[in-house]
């Protein structure tokens, strides 16, 4: 018997309260922005621009985001926007500016303190022996100061292990607003669907919980992909400029991966060799601004992909993804956040959606599955300490979602739901030094904590 967690009244009441808070905070923020408008329209002529503290990042990367050059008269509102765009690069522990007069010239000094972006990848994401991800490798989010991103890693999960390589070239170095990305991944995994079943005692209370596999697909995989991006939203303006991607994927069944497991042979997919050439297009509207450790703004994202089967035994399919997120920094202390993700695919097993704790905290990978899926989140985030060498955040959240083979029946079933709290400790000057500890409750038999480093 399949039973999801139920919290009577909590889902609707908490959702209503948080939505009201989001609306009220937007109104208060608009009033504050109106009061600052006159100041933001004042202007000054900038005769020289100097850079300080960016011991790694090239000056031209920062100048690209300014939107103005020396010798121009600009408003203080434009300066504030430029500082926000520099923050959004994501490479700095602090960003500020100063104006001073030197022999009759107005000199702008930009202080953008570089954070350490080159570091070993030693990642731990652990809840239990059935829910973990260990990562080992190297990463550089600001390669030689060029704002290029590169990483190479080995990842181990209950589903299997894989090798991954990623390279990203930023818009500051390419033609107009273009970004380029390349990815390679190879490894093996066991994709599975799970159902949580409850065993009751004579009094009707849950005595124990079992996770029953509904489908098993052990396979080797190789994926090579490239994408072209056009992030005009980073200039706080919208232009129709969809991102384009292309990838080659190969999957081969490998029964040896099930050695040592107890399973029903009827649940295992027949031997297969699948190859896909996938083409995708996506577009984003909105902008999420970084305000030190906090986020502010909204972003709506939509994507469509067509996977063309290469070979007679490979079935072509299509995917559609939609998502939205909203963050409101009310004060230096409090940030409210909400996000929603959903998707639909025409793919057969085993390429349907498979989700777990990345969708609803506390779930095991495979509990959410089907041609359609969705997940959502509402949270209040408190930043108790925000210094260059230490930031501490605490959040309280609701997280829910589900999966189904028919999209319009997806929202009629009771969702998986989690409530909980998380604590984040970070060294902003070295962003890779971050630890997150989450405590949650998602029903009997689920994972109650999650540690990430």
How do residues 421-447 score in pLDDT, each as one tens digit? 999 999 887 777 889 999 999 999 898
How much is the pLDDT for 10?
39
Q: Are residues 378 and 300 in the same domain?
A: yes
* pLDDT tier, 36 (very low <50, low <70, confident <90, very high otherwise): very low
pLDDT digits (tens, 9 = 90+) for 66-79: 989 999 999 999 99
Given a cut of 80, is residue 303 above it in pLDDT?
yes
Greater model confidence, 128 or 54: 54
Residue 378 to residue 338: CA distance in whole angstroms? 5
pLDDT digits (tens, 9 = 90+) for 215-273: 999 999 999 999 999 888 888 878 888 999 999 999 999 999 998 888 888 999 999 99
Host domain of residue 105? 42-114
Most confident of 115-119, 213-217, 329-333: 213-217
What percent of the chain shows pLDDT beyond 70?
90
Residue 255 to residue 190: CA distance in whole angstroms? 9
Cβ–Cβ under 8 Å, residues 65 and 85: yes
CATH number at residue 263: 2.40.160.50
Half-sphere exposure of 269 (CA within 13 A, CB side): 22
How much is the pLDDT for 248?
98
291 DSSP β-pair partners? 294
Q: Are residues 305 and 435 in the same domain?
A: yes
- As for how many domains the chain has, the answer is 2
Residue 435 to residue 453: CA distance in whole angstroms? 4
* pLDDT tier, 410 (very low <50, low <70, confident <90, very high otherwise): very high
Q: Is residue 165 part of a domain?
A: yes
Greater model confidence, 27 or 446: 446
Q: Are residues 249 and 152 in the same domain?
A: yes
Given a cut of 60, is residue 280 above it in pLDDT?
yes
Q: Is residue 145 part of a domain?
A: yes
* pLDDT tier, 157 (very low <50, low <70, confident <90, very high otherwise): confident
How much is the pLDDT for 184?
98
Roughly how many angstroms between the first and final C-alpha of the chain, as a whole number?
36
Q: Which of 99, 114, 129 is the last residue of a domain?
A: 114
Q: Are residues 97 and 233 in the same domain?
A: no
184, two tokens:
């390679």
Half-sphere exposure of 263 (CA within 13 A, CB side): 21
pLDDT digits (tens, 9 = 90+) for 195-210: 999 888 888 888 888 9
Q: Which of 98, 114, 130 is the last residue of a domain?
A: 114
Q: Are residues 325 and 309 in the same domain?
A: yes
Given a cut of 50, is residue 38 above it in pLDDT?
no
Greater model confidence, 33 or 275: 275
How much is the pLDDT for 90?
87
How much is the pLDDT for 359?
94
Q: Which residues of 100-128 are buried (b: 16+ CB within 10 A; e: fewer)?
A: eeeeeeebbebebbbbbbeeebebebebe
Q: Are residues 212 and 82 in the same domain?
A: no
Q: Are residues 420 and 307 in the same domain?
A: yes
Q: Is residue 15 part of a domain?
A: no
Q: Is residue 18 part of a domain?
A: no
Q: What is the DSSP string of 10-21?
A: HHHHHHHHHHHH
124 DSSP β-pair partners? 134
Residue 110 to residue 114: CA distance in whole angstroms? 12
Coil/strand/helix, residue 66: helix
Q: Is residue 336 part of a domain?
A: yes
Tell me how far apart the 2 most distant CA atoms of the chain are, in Å: 89
Q: Are residues 69 and 136 in the same domain?
A: no
Q: Which distant-in-sequence residues (6+ apart) come within 8 Å of 301 by Cβ?
A: 282, 283, 284, 321, 322, 323, 324
Coil/strand/helix, residue 77: helix
How much is the pLDDT for 129?
65
Q: Residue 89 burial by CB count (10 A; 0-12/13-18/19+): exposed, middle or buried? A: buried
Q: Are residues 98 and 133 in the same domain?
A: no
Residue 423 to residue 433: CA distance in whole angstroms? 14
* pLDDT tier, 131 (very low <50, low <70, confident <90, very high otherwise): confident
Given a cut of 80, is residue 23 above it in pLDDT?
no
What percent of the chain shows pLDDT beyond 90?
64
Cβ–Cβ under 8 Å, residues 112 and 57: yes
Residue 154 to residue 108: CA distance in whole angstroms? 45
Mean pLDDT of the 340-352 span: 96
Which spans in 183-271 are helix H?
A: none
Q: Is residue 46 part of a domain?
A: yes
* pLDDT tier, 40 (very low <50, low <70, confident <90, very high otherwise): low
Coil/strand/helix, residue 190: strand
Cβ–Cβ under 8 Å, residues 14 and 22: no
Q: Is residue 54 part of a domain?
A: yes
The number of angstroms, rounded, from the C-alpha of 126 to the middle of its chain's C-alpha atoms is 18
List C-alpha distances in Å: 410 to 5, 65, 195.
16, 43, 16
Q: Are residues 388 and 430 in the same domain?
A: yes
Which spans in 92-217 are helix H?
A: none
Q: Which helix (H) or strand (E) holds 56?
A: none
- Residue whose pair of structure tokens reads 């030190």 in the numeric block: 292
Cβ–Cβ under 8 Å, residues 113 and 388: yes
The DSSP code for 353 is E
> Considering the entire predicted model, what is its pTM?
0.80
Given a cut of 50, is residue 1 above it in pLDDT?
no
Q: Is residue 333 part of a domain?
A: yes
CATH number at residue 77: 3.10.20.310
How much is the pLDDT for 128?
67
Residue 366 to residue 280: CA distance in whole angstroms? 25
Mean pLDDT of the 285-307 span: 90
Residue 91 to residue 144: CA distance in whole angstroms? 12
Residue 436 to residue 422: CA distance in whole angstroms? 7
Q: Are residues 107 and 159 in the same domain?
A: no
Residue 408 to residue 116: CA distance in whole angstroms? 47
Residue 362 to residue 401: CA distance in whole angstroms? 12
How much is the pLDDT for 9?
40
Q: Are residues 78 and 169 in the same domain?
A: no
Q: Which of 63, 90, 114 is the last residue of a domain?
A: 114
């Amino acid at each position: 018997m399949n039973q999801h967690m139920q919290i009577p009244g909590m889902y609707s009441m908490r959702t209503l309260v948080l939505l009201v808070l989001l609306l009220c905070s937007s109104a208060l923020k608009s009033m504050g922005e109106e009061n600052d408008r006159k100041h933001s329209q004042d202007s000054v002529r900038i005769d020289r621009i100097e850079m300080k503290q960016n011991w790694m990042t090239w000056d031209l990367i920062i100048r690209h985001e300014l939107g103005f050059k020396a010798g121009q008269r600009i408003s203080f509102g434009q300066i504030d926007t430029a500082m926000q765009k520099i923050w959004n690069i994501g490479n700095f522990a602090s960003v500020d500016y100063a104006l001073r007069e030197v022999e009759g010239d107005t000199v702008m000094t930009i202080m953008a303190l570089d954070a350490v972006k080159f570091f070993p990848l030693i990642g731990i994401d652990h809840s239990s022996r059935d829910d973990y991800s260990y990562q080992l490798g190297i990463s550089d989010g600001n390669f030689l100061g060029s704002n290029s991103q590169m990483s190479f890693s080995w990842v181990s999960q209950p589903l299997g292990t894989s090798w991954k390589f990623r390279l990203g070239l930023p818009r500051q170095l390419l033609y107009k607003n273009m970004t380029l990305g390349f990815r390679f991944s190879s490894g093996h995994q066991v994709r599975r669907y799970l159902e949580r079943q409850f065993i009751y005692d004579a009094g009707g209370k849950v005595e124990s919980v079992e996770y029953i596999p509904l489908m098993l697909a052990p396979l080797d995989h190789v994926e090579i992909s490239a994408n072209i991006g056009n992030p005009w939203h980073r200039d706080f303006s919208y232009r129709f400029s969809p991102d384009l991607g292309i990838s080659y994927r190969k999957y081969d069944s490998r029964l040896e991966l099930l050695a040592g497991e107890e399973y029903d042979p009827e649940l295992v997919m027949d031997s297969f060799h699948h190859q896909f050439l996938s083409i995708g297009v996506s577009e984003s509207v909105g902008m999420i601004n970084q305000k030190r450790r906090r986020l502010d703004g909204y972003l709506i994202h939509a994507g469509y992909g067509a996977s063309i089967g290469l070979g007679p035994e490979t079935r072509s399919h299509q995917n559609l993804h939609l998502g939205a997120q909203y963050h409101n920094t009310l004060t230096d202390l409090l940030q409210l956040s909400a996000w929603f993700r959903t998707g639909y695919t025409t793919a057969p097993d085993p390429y349907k959606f498979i989700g777990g704790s990345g969708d609803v905290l506390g779930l095991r990978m495979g509990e959410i599955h089907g041609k359609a899926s969705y997940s959502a989140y509402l949270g209040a985030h408190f930043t108790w300490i925000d210094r260059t060498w230490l930031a501490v955040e605490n959040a309280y959240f609701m997280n829910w979602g589900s999966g189904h083979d028919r999209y319009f029946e997806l929202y009629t079933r009771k969702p998986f739901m989690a409530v909980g709290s998380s604590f984040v400790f970070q060294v902003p000057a070295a962003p890779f030094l971050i630890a997150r500890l989450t405590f949650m409750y998602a029903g009997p038999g689920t994972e109650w904590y999650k540690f990430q480093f």
